[in-house]
Structure 1
Amino acid sequence: MGDYVYPGIVSSLALLVCYYTLLRSGIARRKFKIEPPAHTGPEEYERYVRAHQNTIEHLVLFLPGLWLFSLAWNPVVAAVIGATWLPGRLFYAHGYYRSAPARRPGLLASMPAVYILVLGSLIGFVAELFRA
């Protein structure tokens, strides 16, 4: 497994961040008495749902980006970059729970990791074509 243990740990933590937002949205569902399968209700409730939904949407880019960067460049560097996404997403969710505009700092904190991992992996793989 070697150095791939590090992106593995970051991946596991990212899934726990996603689960945390799922848990908080479930708690909000009970608090605001929203019966399944409804996903609409008071704005306060919908912010919890959107924080979770947006985290899932980011995972679709983050996790493959983390692993592709690990393969294209270095798994330890990928894990370090990826680790910055974790607190950024928690900051994002907690901001969103307060108000929609309050989510912005967390978004700005978490997005660079996604861009660096995805674009960095593409650059690494294209560069490999020219080395061959």
Structure 2
Amino acid sequence: MVVENVLPANFGYAIFVYMYSFVMLTYLGFKVGGARKKFGVKYPTMYSDKEQIFNCIQRAHQNTLEVYPQWLVFQTIAALEYPVVASVLGVIWVTSRFSYAWGYYTGDPAKRMRGAYGYIGVFGVIILSISVALKLLGVL
């Protein structure tokens, strides 16, 4: 079986979005590691009783990990039928996670909302996934 015969021609864009998301997760993870060292928060402690900035850095990473599996599923389903549109939406979502984190890193949790535009990306791939499901069921 040749992958080019199974996946849509433009699915390569989706693969690059997955790679971009890997870069984003790695960056967020390194930021937590650096903050652990800077603020003296040892493993397995998840949050600090003393260092609010550490908690903000940790939460930015943790929240991203909490939503990442669902995003991956919908991103993949959407990209199988709509690879270019899904990839654009994926880039929006991944980029928004940087904005979300950088806002959180200020120590003011309200500034995490700088990444709220990511809802365009996540809701977009959910809607496309619903469209794929309806096509498979013969409704569309």
Normalising by structure 1, we get a TM-score of 0.91
Name the CA distance, whole Å, in 1 between partners of 2:98 and 2:121: 14
- Note the aligned Cα RMSD (angstroms): 1.5
Question: How far off is 1:10 after superposition?
Answer: 0.2
Question: How far off is 1:131 after superposition?
Answer: 5.5
Q: Percent identity?
A: 28
Matched, 1:96 2:104: yes
Structure 1, unpaired ranges of 5+: none
Contact 2:82/2:128 (<8 A) preserved:
no
Find runs of 4+ consecutive structure 1 residues off by over 4 angstroms.
none
Contact 2:77/2:132 (<8 A) preserved:
no
Q: Which residue of 2 aligns with 1:17?
A: 24
By percentage of residues, which structure has more helix? 1
Q: Which residue of 1 aligns with 2:136?
A: 128
Query: Considering only CA atoms, is the larger Rg found in Structure 1 or Structure 2?
Result: 2
Name the CA distance, whole Å, in 2 between partners of 1:131 and 1:37: 49
Q: Which residue of 2 aligns with 1:74?
A: 82
Residue of structure 2 aligned with 1:4, choices 2, 11, 35: 11
Normalising by structure 2, we get a TM-score of 0.86
Structure 2, unpaired ranges of 5+: none
